[in-house]
Amino acid sequence: MDKNSISNLNEKLKGEKGIHTDFKQDMTYSEYLLLDQVLSSQKLLSNHHDEMLFVIIHQVSELWMKLILHEMRSAIAAIQQNKMQPAFKMLSRVSKIQSQIIQGWDVLATMTPSEYLEFRDKLGKASGFQSYQYRLIEFALGYKTKHILKIYEKDVALSKLLHEAHKAPSIYDVSIQALARQGLPVNKDLLNRDFSVTYAGDETVAAAWKEVYLNVNKYWDLYQLGEKLVDIEDWLQQWRFRHMKTVERIIGFKVGTGGSSGVSYLKKVLDHRFFPELWDLRTNL
């Protein structure tokens, strides 16, 4: 910006007579957002320049995941109460958030293997594999891995939260219940099943979704619900893929700091489908 442009901008700002500048008695933007806490939460363990990038990318991802969980929990409750339109708004927002996290991997990928090696040993056994919010998202989507709960036993309150989420119905469980409420012949055993077990698919659910997609006008809300779920799984798989490729780009096939097989593990989870009937019907319609 040249001097004339700056001068013109300053003149325009002077004309903004309503801008508040005295905050001796009022809350500021920084105070509202607790920015002193947020911006002082990057406690680096090395002197390497790129550790700041590594910490901030992961902290930002966790903040986005917190918002995903906020939206997912409310969407699950809304579907249970047959309030479909608010649920659709929340699920659409989840998809947009997922796109932001995916872009975060692109920023992290600017770090080279040599740069990461300069501080990787400082992480000890800490790893993104241990992200409890990511596990809560998986639980909310219906992927219930019981063995993973052992990681969180150190924190009693957190462990309790995860065990409760592990037993709670997922977004797909409540969607199947919504199919049944609309009179579609769904296996009744699914409606009050053990929700701590990962859903594996059912012929009656497949038939119900096929009926919905063949009669869109009659089942418009259910049709929209199905497409919102497909959006979320699509974005999640893209998120997982970008994660896997970023890890491969930076550490190759090394074992992860948390002891996982790293890229090999990340490739394996790409094969899991959360909402199998919604994908299968693309072929079966």
Binding-site residues sit at 54-58, 116, 120, 243, 257
DSSP letters spanning 11-41: HHHHT-TT-----SSS--HHHHHTHHHHTT-
Residue 217 CB neighbours (<10 A): 6
Best CA proximity match to 285, nearest among 207, 201, 170: 207
**Annotation: binding site for heme:** 243
DSSP structural state of residue 63: H
Is 59 in contact with 41 (CB distance < 8 Å)? yes
Q: Using CA atoms, how far apart are residues 184 and 178, in angstroms rounded to an integer?
A: 9
Q: b/e map of 103-114 (b: 16 or more CB within 10 Å)?
A: ebbeebeebeee
Name the binding residues for substrate. Answer: 54-58, 116, 120, 257
Name the amino acid, one letter, at 214: L
DSSP 110-175: TS-HHHHHTTGGGGTT--GGG-HHHHHHHHHHT---SGGGGGGTTSHHHHHHHHHHHHS--HHHHH
